[in-house]
Amino acid sequence: MSEFGKTLHAWRDRVSPAEAGLPANGVRRAPGLRREELAMLAGLSVDYVVRLEQGRSSAPSPQVLTALARALRLGDAERDHLFVLAGQAPPAPGRISAYIPPGVQRLVDQLEGAPLSVSDASWTMISWNSLWAAMLGDPSALRGRQRNLIWRRFAGEQELPSGYGRVRQTPEQAERFTIALVTDLRAAVTRYPKDAELHAMVADLRALSAEFATAWDDHQIGFHGTDHKTVEHPELGPILLDCDVLTVPGSDLRIVVYTAPPNSEAAEKLRLLSVLGLQSL
């Protein structure tokens, strides 16, 4: 077993299922996460996790390492050490990170009663809870730019699973939201000058969408605030919810949370979704 594999195994053993938001089912030989649980949390195959621990896999990519660091609740120093053990340069300043700090992850775990997603500074979705997937569609199969909200908004891919195709907005709401998104993206371009993919996406959007090019060149400024949105769920029908966008200082993460007034019809529908999850209704 390589040093990388030994470290990965040791860090897997120290994370309890409860810390990861998982039920502690069955008899466990070790107190930590099983390989299949780590694989699920990181979005990897179980076989790949086994090969990584046994040293039978080639050097994992930065994307895989970031997913493992997030699943294992690693701090910044531990995340960087994992990169070094894998033969990769730790994330450098000037590039967007998909890393979710442990404190932020704990906050996300505590909000399991509300549909919630986490996106990076460019609005690429990194993580979501089961209630988000049940209400807005499971984004697990989406790859690359398909997980980016701004790309989907202007590239005509809003109806893909993950959600926003089910959200109904008035024209005024849609305009406010669009201006706020473009404002965020312009700020990200300034803060992350070395992020090649970010700059390439902006260039591609300008070439693809006249609407985006106009919004980008107008330099209008918009900010996210609490808004009322209607989600058209295929089985439960319309669900009227409040939507808040929370920004994590120091990381540029965006947490999108949908909530309902207590004892409202929407709250009852969220409770039903939390019980049924992704099962057929």
Q: Where are the domains of the chain?
A: 3-85, 102-276
CATH fold of 3-85: 434 Repressor (Amino-terminal Domain) (1.10.260)
Q: Are 103 and 76 in contact (CB under 8 A)?
A: no
3-85 and 102-276: same fold?
Answer: no
CA Rg value for the chain: 20
Interior angle at CA 179, CA 175 and CA 180, nearest 5: 115
Nearest to 37 by CA among 26, 251, 218: 26
Cα gap 140→154, rounded to integer Å? 21
Question: Distance of CA 115 to CAs 73, 172, 256, 261, 273, Å?
Answer: 21, 24, 8, 14, 10
pLDDT by residue for the chain (281 residues), tens digit each? 688 999 999 999 998 888 877 776 767 777 789 898 898 888 888 999 999 998 887 778 888 898 899 889 888 889 889 988 988 878 777 788 888 888 888 888 888 889 999 999 999 998 888 899 889 888 887 888 888 999 998 987 655 555 567 888 888 888 888 899 999 999 999 988 888 999 999 999 999 999 999 999 988 888 888 888 899 998 899 999 999 999 887 778 999 999 999 999 999 999 998 887 655 44
pTM of the model: 0.75
Question: Distance of CA 101 to CAs 73, 121, 135, 152, Å?
Answer: 7, 14, 26, 26
Neighbouring-strand partners of residue 25 = none
Nearest to 189 by CA among 214, 210, 219: 219
Note the CATH number of domain 102-276.
Answer: 3.30.450.180
Q: Are 95 and 195 in contact (CB under 8 A)?
A: yes
Cα gap 123→253, rounded to integer Å? 8
Q: Which two tokens mark 50?
A: 């086994």
